[in-house]
Amino acid sequence: MWRALVFIGLLCVAAFGAVWLADRPGTVLVTFGGYEVQTSVSVAAIALIGVAIALALLWAVVSGLLNLPSRLTFASRARRRSRGYQAVSRGMVAVGAGDPVSARRYANEAQRLLGSEPLTLLLRAQAAQISGNRQAAEDAFTQMMEEDETRVLGLRGLFVEARRRGDAIAAREYAGEAARLAPAAAWAGEAVLEALCAERDWRGALSAVERRASLGLLDKPTAKRHRAVLLAADALDRVERDRAGALASAQDAVKLAPGLVPAAGLAGKLLSDRGDLRRAAKILEAAWRSQPHPELAEVYVNLRPGDSALDRLKRAETLLRLSDGPEGRLAVARSALEAREFGRARSVLEPLLAERPSMRVCLLMSDLEQAEHGATGRGREWLARATRAPRDPAWIADGIVSDQWAPISPVTGRIDAFAWEAPPDVLVAPELAMSDDVTADLDDEPRSLPVIVAEQDAVPPKGRVEPVAPPPLSPDAPVVQASPPRDATAQGLNAPSPVTQGSLTSIPPTPEAYDARQDIVRDAMAEPVEVAAEGPPAAGESIPSDPGGRPSGRPDAVVFPLGQPDDPGPDKRPADRSRFW
């Protein structure tokens, strides 16, 4: 549009000039070298314009001939760069597709066509990485650091390679340099923060969180939570040498996150030791409303040293009124058991027994039965059920189950990774197949029958650390107790023997064996172990056994031996003999 208007304007000016010259006739006389040329003004103007156009055309031809070599060179370079960037594009696609051969080929072609371009160096480094050539990758990243525009990229690549070879010192140096050059680089800030946390430099980690929050890399709720976690970690580290400083850090953490259990529990304990019971109770109650936790219940119930069992029970009742959940009922039941209020303990645990009581509930019921009635079969029943009960909530981070809270994940180093939740069930109980000679003798004196728990239903990848825990069992599933075959004595099924893991053994019905069995149940989830990589047995697959009839001890099977329960007598035996418990 604008070009058309300009052209029309120039055309109008030319027409106006031609009319102006036509209205003013005159002559032009040129004398040069003995020659004299005389013509009209209009003809002279037209001739002058023609000469100017001819000179312009002549200059264009001459300059074109002079610039022809450079133009050919430029075209060749353009084609070369086009081919080089096409090779880079195809190489990036090959890297994304995981094709190391094609990636290396395109990387070499791009380097030949483009030289040391940033994208070429990046492609060469990534091709070396997926090919497993770490040295070539480090060389490419080191070459990137020579240019200002690729220095941060080279630092990140060297940081990744240092992490892969386990050089934490070099990785932290690279991350710190990248954070200095580019403070807004999120990966550098996270790496520096993780390194400070790994060194337990909680104050330095707090400063790093403040910097990241000021740069907008963390939103306000996340930054606030991270500060609370770091303050709680600082308080836990200082509690032995500086109780006043630990209390200050714990109180600051509680102000930022009232529901942070470790900070609230530590603050309550330290305030209780100082005699400030009102502030301690206020902090613990606020945290309990947010997240009921057994650690909070333990500190709150024992808030005043020297209280009687009934006083502790009243304090546990306060927790139950604040939050009517499983943790509150367990706290009241434990306190009632210590106060010898067995009826209250049973009534408060009754709702937790309706469906599938957890392991802690079963163990508490076993303690209750033993305290109220002594070592009876009923107490052993609950102890047996505890081996197959659902697991209670624990601190879990990245697949690791821990009894203690930690500020960072032991796997990834991530802050605030631990969450209080129930671990997933990784074991399932098999259906115990009973032969005819076993079921035919149910009315005889019950004897010890070991219960075998089969291998995992879902086995995690090899090298993953998972806790080995007893599997869940439906409350309706019968637990059958029967007499052994006629050659049981020869097979040694009833012979008293010590408890050994991985083999089928029986424990004689003695108080010492009961205590040992209870220790086994309580320590079943104490330490994580390496889970075997084999999967569960296929349908119809039998567990191999030795000539004596005992399972051969597969590495992915867990055996929980059970002892002989007490016989309540013919008058008190249950009518349904197929369900002993």
Please write the tens of the pLDDT for every residue from 364-376. Answer: 999 999 998 887 7
- For residue 68, the one-letter residue type is L
Which pLDDT value is given to residue 72? 79
Higher pLDDT pick, 547 / 390: 390
Which residue is it, tokens 């040694």?
A: 492
Whether 324 shows a pLDDT value over 60: the answer reads yes
SS3 225: helix
pLDDT digits (tens, 9 = 90+) for 144-177: 888 888 899 999 999 999 988 888 899 999 999 9
274, 283 Cβ separation under 8 angstroms: no
**CB 227, CB 209: distance < 8 Å:** yes
Q: Determine the pLDDT at residue 129.
A: 87
pLDDT over 50 at 516, yes or no: no
- Considering only residues 441 and 237, tell me which one the structure prediction assigns the higher pLDDT: 237
Q: Integer distance in angstroms from the first to the last C-alpha of the chain?
A: 96
Which of 96, 93, 123 shows the shortest CA–CA distance to 107? 123
**pLDDT over threshold 70, residue 559:** no
Query: Residue 125: CB partners within 8 Å, gap ≥ 6?
Result: 136, 137, 140, 141, 144, 157
Q: Is the pLDDT of residue 460 over 50?
A: no
CA nearest to 573, candidates 450, 457, 444 = 444
pLDDT the model gives residue 51: 87
* pLDDT band per the 50, 70, 90 thresholds, residue 292: very high
Report the mean per-residue pLDDT for the chain.
75
DSSP letters, 397-422, are: ETTEEESS--SB-TTT--BT--EEEP
Task: Report the alpha-carbon distance of residue 157 to residue 151 in Å, rounded.
Answer: 10
| In contact, 525 and 391? CB cutoff 8 Å | yes
488-491, Cβ contacts within 8 angstroms, sequence gap of 24 or more: 488/447, 491/548, 491/549, 491/550
In this structure, of 123-132, 284-293, 459-468, 510-519, the range with the lowest mean pLDDT score is 459-468
Distance CA 260, CA 279 (A): 16
What was the pLDDT predicted at 572? 41
User: In Å, how far are 388, 468, 537 from 426, measured between CA atoms?
Assistant: 12, 8, 14
Query: What per-residue confidence (pLDDT) applies to 24?
Result: 72
Chain segment 494-515, per-residue pLDDT in tens: 333 333 333 333 333 344 444 4
Alpha carbon distance 389, 355 (integer Å): 11
Q: Is the pLDDT score of 14 beyond 90?
A: no
Contact 439, 506 (CB under 8 A): no
* Predicted pLDDT at 234: 94
Question: What is the pTM for the complete model shown?
Answer: 0.60
Tokens of 404: 């203690």
Cα 545 from Cα 543, distance rounded (Å): 6
Q: Centre a 10 Å sphere on the Cβ of residue 495 and count the other Cβ atoms it contains.
A: 12
In 41-179, where do the E strands start and end? none
Query: What is the structure's pLDDT at 71?
Result: 79
Look at residue 426 in the predicted model and tell me its pLDDT. 54
> In the structure, what pLDDT confidence band is assigned to residue 35 with cuts at 50, 70 and 90?
confident
SS3 content of the chain, % helix, strand, coil (to 5): 55, 5, 35
The token pair at 141 is 């990243």
Question: What average pLDDT does range 93-109 have in this prediction?
Answer: 89
The one-letter amino acid code at 575 reads A
Look up residue 482 and give its two tokens. Answer: 């029967």
pLDDT at 439 over 50: no
What residues have CB less than 8 Å from 407, skipping those under 6 apart? 197, 202, 229, 230, 232, 233, 415, 416
Distance CA 115, CA 112 (A): 6
- What is the full DSSP assignment across 178-189? HHHH-TT-HHHH
pLDDT at 131: 86
Contact 438, 446 (CB under 8 A): no
User: Which tops the pLDDT comparison, 524 or 203?
Assistant: 203
310, amino acid identity: L
* Radius of gyration of the CA atoms of the chain, in A: 42
Listed residue (474, 443, 437, 481) closest to 579, CA to CA: 481
Residue 141 · residue 158 · CB < 8 Å:
yes
Query: Which residues have CB under 8 Å from 336's CB, separation 6+?
Result: 313, 316, 342, 344, 345, 348
What the block records as the tokens of 291 is 């997240």
User: What's the chain's length in residues?
Assistant: 581
Backbone angles phi, psi at 564, to 5 degrees: -85, 120
Lowest mean pLDDT among 199-213, 295-309, 440-454: 440-454
Q: Among 36-50, 121-135, 276-290, 379-393, where is mean pLDDT lowest?
A: 36-50
Of 155-169, 294-308, 375-389, 435-449, the poorest mean pLDDT is in 435-449
pLDDT band at 399 (very low <50, low <70, confident <90, very high): confident
- Split at pLDDT 50, 70, 90, the class of 519 is low
Q: 385, 473 in Cβ contact below 8 A?
A: yes
Cβ neighbours for 290, distance < 8 A, ≥ 6 positions apart: 258, 259
For position 255, what pLDDT does the model report? 94
Question: Which residue in 410, 407, 408, 403 sits closest to 249, CA to CA?
Answer: 407
Identify the band that residue 69 occupies on the pLDDT scale cut at 50, 70 and 90.
Answer: confident
∠ CA 92-95-97, nearest 5°, is: 110
